[in-house]
Structure 1
């Protein structure tokens, strides 16, 4: 039997009390299940995820859908751009088979509900979170650049407002690598939490003067590991830190040592088991 890695709790050893980080399912439980499908999100919820992460893009007819890539080659084997297709056209595609292309030949493979492999609208995901039997949060990333510019954030805030989640106390927070996008969200919904994603450690000195003191910072775990000064600086400055994409015990240890408040992972059950062990 493989032994569960034992995680250090550095800050607790130093006499500081803190709660463990929130576990956020990255595109759902996407390590084993097709990303951004209803199946992936339901599995993440059933595994105990405390929050869900999704990317949103705007279709040609104005619907927000949960899709990461601007084109559809990777997840549907189809040429075409999300932004040039209608929701009805996207709904004709299979967003699940790419994850297990040989499943039709495997007699022991579990049967999948084809409806759970359809394109997922943000509205459906919001309904799923709202109807779940416990509190769940939602981290929504807007993708840029896009032909629709600031319309993405406007439609997103409108969708959140329709379910009463555009104000203080909302379970939703908005993320982006775009400073302009985060400024738009702050203007449209001043009470929403926002997360400034950081792609490279050397970008932070440029970003630092542009972000407000109450913005959450979202660096990648590889940057934290390769550039330890980044994490130390953020913690020393009192920043709330949410880290992506945390998939191993070593990744999680980096986050625990820093005392981050959320870890975004493709493997929510694995990370939850590590934290509970």
Structure 2
């Protein structure tokens, strides 16, 4: 979903939707039109390799993923690093708060042996390293784990690295981060992320109407939703589309039947820990 016209989409309709987001931003694709969603490896092939590391991203493409998703923080010395948790205890074995550390401090730990002995010595990757690991024509989904302060440094990195050879999508839970991305990087598609919670009144929120409103307020190009089949159905997607949201992806989908369900609903992507399992189910 960027200005690159060589992206990996299989059906002709999908290629049009993703290759030309600016000119086709207001084209409505009816959910009954068959599409094949892109299979995105969640933190890389994270079922088989240590998440958010170069081995996980490289393995994802060996497993025929259409793209990879990684999580990014801004360090105290202005570097963008790939890591999911706020601190390094779970994957690095020692508790360091990522945003309060320098890159050198974070690289003093290793991030692989918690997964398996063969990954011992794996280091935390920078944004540049992850970007450069993505093959031409594949998708790189950039999840921003912090606030708008990361967007200007991200723009500087992309200005230096990006020449349209890969397909970019930025995602974030924080609405102000989404809005800042659309301000500074208007040519790159951005999805607002949301999970769902049932209130004391029995209503699951956000509703489709509330999602559509957030997208309007932030200028987001679509939404990424926790893939809950008891919430997201034909009626939910129809309401999203009535609200102007014509693009959605779902996470984290490891059951092939779930992947097929969301493909039928018209998801543009399914994010999974097991691309080797989910990929064949939707292609």
Is TM > 0.5 for Structure 1 vs Structure 2?
yes
Using the size of structure 1 for normalisation, the TM-score is 0.80
> In 1, are the aligned partners of 2:111 and 2:120 still within 8 Å (CA)?
no
Residue of structure 2 in register with 1:225 after alignment: 230
Q: Give 1:273 deviation, angstroms.
A: 2.0
Paired residues for 1:110-259 under 5 Å = 111-112=118-119, 114=121, 117-129=122-134, 132=135, 134-144=136-146, 149-164=147-162, 171-200=167-196, 202-204=205-207, 205-212=209-216, 215-222=221-228, 224-228=229-233, 229-235=235-241, 237=243, 239-259=246-266
Residue of structure 1 in register with 2:99 after alignment: 83
> In 2, are the aligned partners of 1:232 and 1:258 still within 8 Å (CA)?
no
Aligned counterparts of 1:211 and 1:57: Cα–Cα separation in 2: 23
Aligned counterparts of 2:32 and 2:188: Cα–Cα separation in 1: 29
Aligned counterparts of 2:279 and 2:190: Cα–Cα separation in 1: 24
Count of paired positions: 241
Contiguous gaps of at least 5 residues in structure 1: 1-14, 104-110
Q: Give 1:210 deviation, angstroms.
A: 3.2
Q: Give 1:187 deviation, angstroms.
A: 0.7
Contiguous gaps of at least 5 residues in structure 2: 1-30, 197-203
The structure that is helix-richer by fraction is 1
Aligned counterparts of 1:211 and 1:67: Cα–Cα separation in 2: 26
Q: Aligned-pair RMSD on alpha carbons? A: 2.3
Aligned counterparts of 2:55 and 2:97: Cα–Cα separation in 1: 23
> In 1, are the aligned partners of 2:46 and 2:274 still within 8 Å (CA)?
yes
Larger radius of gyration: 1
Look up the SS of the partner of 1:95 in the other structure.
coil
Q: Give 1:16 deviation, angstroms.
A: 5.2
> In 2, are the aligned partners of 1:218 and 1:241 still within 8 Å (CA)?
yes
> In 2, are the aligned partners of 1:235 and 1:258 still within 8 Å (CA)?
no
Provide, for residues 100-137 of structure 1, a one-character-per-residue CA deviation record: whole Å limited to 9, x for no partner. Answer: 3xx4xxxxxxx4473xx2101111011122xx3x4111
> In 2, are the aligned partners of 1:176 and 1:196 still within 8 Å (CA)?
yes
Look up the SS of the partner of 2:278 in the other structure.
helix
Aligned counterparts of 2:206 and 2:33: Cα–Cα separation in 1: 31
> In 1, are the aligned partners of 2:50 and 2:119 still within 8 Å (CA)?
no
